[in-house]
Chain A
Amino acid sequence: MSPIYVIVATPLLSAAILALVPGYRLAARLNIAFSAVTLLAALVLFRTGPAGNALFVVDAFNIYLIALTAFVGLTTSIFSASYIGHEVAAGKLTPRDLRFYHAMYQAFMFTMLLALSANNLGVMWVAVEGATLTTVLMVSLYRTAASIEAAWKYFILCGVGIALALFGTILMYLAAQPVMGPGMAAMTWTELMKHVARVNADILNLAFVFLLIGYGTKVGLAPLHAWLPDAHAEGPTPISAVLSGLLLNVALYAVLRFKMLLAANGEAIAPGPLMIAMGLASLLLAGLMLYRRRDIKRFFAYSSIEHMGIITFAFGMGGPLANFAGLLHMAMHSLTKSAIFYAVGHVAQAKGTQRLEKITGLTVSHPVLGWGLLVGVVAIAGLPPFGIFMSEFLLITSTFAREPLLAIPLTLGILLAFGALVLRVQQLCFGEPGGESAPVRGSLVPLYAHLGLVLVAGVWLPGPLVAWFQTVAALLG
């Protein structure tokens, strides 16, 4: 039996079990244990390599995303255990909320892993829709005015996005059906990839526009990004970490699957210019917006928009180098940004506020945490020797070699964001510590584990991973 069944079934069963567990301490431990089982299965899958059948597909593209999702799922569950303990003590959440929260957490992991591994366009769409529903519920967990408004905005915008994506999916089926006949085959990735060369390119183009806008809303691409900062800022911090670290990647994965179809068709329009435009718009907009943020979680949410812009730009450029950079950047951003949110979660609890100007001198008041946050911000800003430096360097050099004019706004955007990050991190981490300051209780292992991986990836990438990235980079066109 393929480990993929275990990977998908574990979170689903765990969600059902956790919905029945009344005590939140036990539930948090079970949450960690279940996530560990999922990760183990993902590692087995990583060893056995690509496989697939009519229901699931595991290829060079999604195999590393599945492993990454399971890994971040586990580390976030460890972070979450210490985070929620504090929230209960502070009276912000009741044990009943937490029962719901844990069940939703595993349900969310289920939808993520299903979306990544499904071999069917329709199933993937349902999974992404399910992911929207679970995260909307979790964003509104605190039931404050701001969190309900954030969840409402998130639901309305992403609901419309999801609707447009479904329209695109229907068009995709309409395009494939004359060639492949009615039935399931015309909605299956592996079958579509075989026959897509004979599919009508015009409908494919139209479908892709809807899919890009639809799933692009969930990626947080400008001008459809409005939900993202609110949803990150008002929900529990573990959810911010998985939103940035996992959900954005999965939505982008969906877009890229369709891009592969277009690339394999040959006659369809090159989706590059569209993606480049949306990517650059997100990058520049987020770069500028970073300077005016006053809330620490919003600040890093805008940084996520910036990085998704960079990644979309990379895939829009296409070609082996830029695609390679994009794939690497997806993994690196996901690890670094979730690490930063772990740190931010502890910081916000220790300081009792999310307002940027009230948080100062963290390296003095909380050395381990403060330095961790500093290293995370250095990594996300794209400084060596971290993995994000590698991918950004690859992207900028390959862009300069092929399209020097496009490299200018790209570099400008990255520098803008870099400036904002350096400016803020100085104030956050150095200087006199001010305001209230409680000691941090909780594990910092997830934070440093992520940063360690990002550091290792910046210095040395394992051979099979490089080989997979190269295969996928070629398929992406």
Chain B
Amino acid sequence: MIDLGYDAAHMLGAVVLLMSFALLYQRRLFSLLRVFTLQALALTATAAWQAFSHGEPHLYITALLTLSLKAIVMPVALHRIIVKMNIHRTIEPALSIGLTMVAGVSLVTLSILLVLPVTADATALTRENLALSLSVVLLGLLMMISRRNAVSQVVGFMSIENGLILAAVGVAGMPLVVEMSIAFSVMVAFIIFGIFLFHIRERFDTLDMQKIESFRGESD
């Protein structure tokens, strides 16, 4: 028998992961934002599907928050920052597609090897969701390490948070407080990032963190 609930949830989780792969090799900031928006949409669908198939109505709120903040507000705001600062032509050194695949696949393998053996008691859906979300978190970390532009680092940070929400919606009965707080923190984080992006621009005329880091107060 085909378990539609399980298959759909599994597929949506995989789409979120796929978008994390795609984020890694985007060289232009606008395409980076587009891929991020797609990831947020996939996450919204995952949360909504879990809410529907498990009968947990509070997950609809999570889905709604994800949709409004991550798929609409943040991409639009970052888009405006990019236009305002006139950095949309920037071509960033990102990892090549081949290298991305090698690094990405090894990180995914790592998280599957890490999660599956220890969660033998949990349901199949929870286990796989957890493995997928850990992969998204690790890929987000890889992205934050490999990028130099402040906007890309912000996008990397938000994709890590996407991974966390994916994990939280996959675990049955996780209290709402936590999800609300995630959404809240994302919002505040965004405000801070916004402030910083402007201030950084004001002070340095660049968003290239490599150049900014030489300003440290102590020159060794």
Contacts and interface: CB of A to CB of B under 8 A. Distances in A.
Interface of A: 120, 122-123, 125-126, 129, 133, 136-137, 140, 143-146, 148-153, 155-156, 159-160, 163-164, 166-167, 169-171, 173-174, 177-178, 181-184, 187, 200, 202-203, 205-206, 230, 233-234, 292-295, 298, 354
Contacts of A149: 212-213, 215-216
Given A163-B161, A178-B121, A170 B174 contact: yes
Nearest to B220: A292
Contact of B217 (A146, A166, A167): A146
A169 B178 CA distance: 10
A151 B193 CA distance: 11
Interface in B132-155: 133-134, 137, 141, 144, 150, 153
Contacts of B203: 143-145, 148
A150 B192 CA distance: 14
A298 B218 contact: yes
Given A126-B181, A149-B213, A167-B164, A183 B173 contact: yes
Nearest to B56: A182
Interface string B84-117: 0000000000000000000000000000001101
Interface in B155-194: 157, 160-161, 163-164, 167-168, 171-175, 177-178, 181-182, 184-185, 188-189, 192-193
A85 B16 CA distance: 52
A122 B181 contact: yes
A438 B203 CA distance: 30
B173 A182 contact: yes
Given A122-B175, A123-B177, A125-B181, A159 B218 contact: no
Contact of A166 (B117, B119, B164, B220): B164
Given A122-B175, A122-B178, A167-B167, A234 B137 contact: no
13 contacts: A125-B181, A129-B181, A133-B189, A146-B215, A149-B213, A151-B196, A160-B160, A163-B161, A169-B178, A171-B130, A182-B173, A200-B121, A206-B115
Contacts of B1: none
B126 interface: yes
B199 interface: yes
Contact of A234 (B117, B171, B177, B217): B217
Given A148-B199, A174-B126, A205 B118 contact: yes
B192 A137 contact: yes
B204 interface: yes
A140 B196 contact: yes
A270 B168 CA distance: 27
B209 interface: yes
Contact of B215 (A125, A145, A184): A145
Given A149-B215, A234-B217, A292-B220, A140 B199 contact: yes
A160 B160 CA distance: 8
B196 A159 contact: no
Interface of B: 114-115, 117-122, 126, 130, 133-134, 137, 141, 144, 150, 153, 157, 160-161, 163-164, 167-168, 171-175, 177-178, 181-182, 184-185, 188-189, 192-193, 196, 199-200, 203-204, 209, 212-213, 215-218, 220
A122 to B, nearest CB: 4
Contacts of A125: 178, 181
B177 A122 contact: yes
Given A163-B137, A182-B172, A202 B192 contact: no
A187 B189 CA distance: 24
Nearest to B202: A143
| Residues of B contacting A: mostly | helix
Contact of B157 (A129, A159, A174): A159
A152 B211 CA distance: 13
A164 B160 CA distance: 9
Q: Which 4 A-B pairs have the closest CB atoms?
A: A182-B173, A202-B118, A146-B217, A122-B178
Contacts of A298: 217-218
A152 B144 CA distance: 13
Contact of B171 (A152, A163, A170, A206): A170
Contacts of A145: 203-204, 212, 215
A152 B209 contact: yes
Contacts of A153: 213
A104 to B, nearest CB: 12
B130 A174 contact: yes
Given A122-B175, A126-B181, A183-B175, A174 B119 contact: yes
Most buried by B among A166, A230, A293, A295: A166
Contacts of A150: 216-217
A163 B160 contact: yes
A444 B118 CA distance: 55
Contacts of A160: 141, 144, 157, 160
B114 A206 contact: yes
Contacts of A174: 119, 122, 126, 130, 171
Nearest to A145: B215
Nearest to A146: B217
A163 B164 contact: yes
Contacts of B173: 177, 181-183
Given A153-B213, A160-B160, 7 more contacts: A137-B192, A146-B216, A159-B157, A166-B182, A202-B117, A205-B118, A206-B114
Contact of A170 (B164, B177, B181, B199): B164
Contact of B118 (A122, A140, A187, A203): A203
B27 to A, nearest CB: 21
Contacts of B119: 174, 202-203
Contacts of A293: 218
B204 A136 contact: no
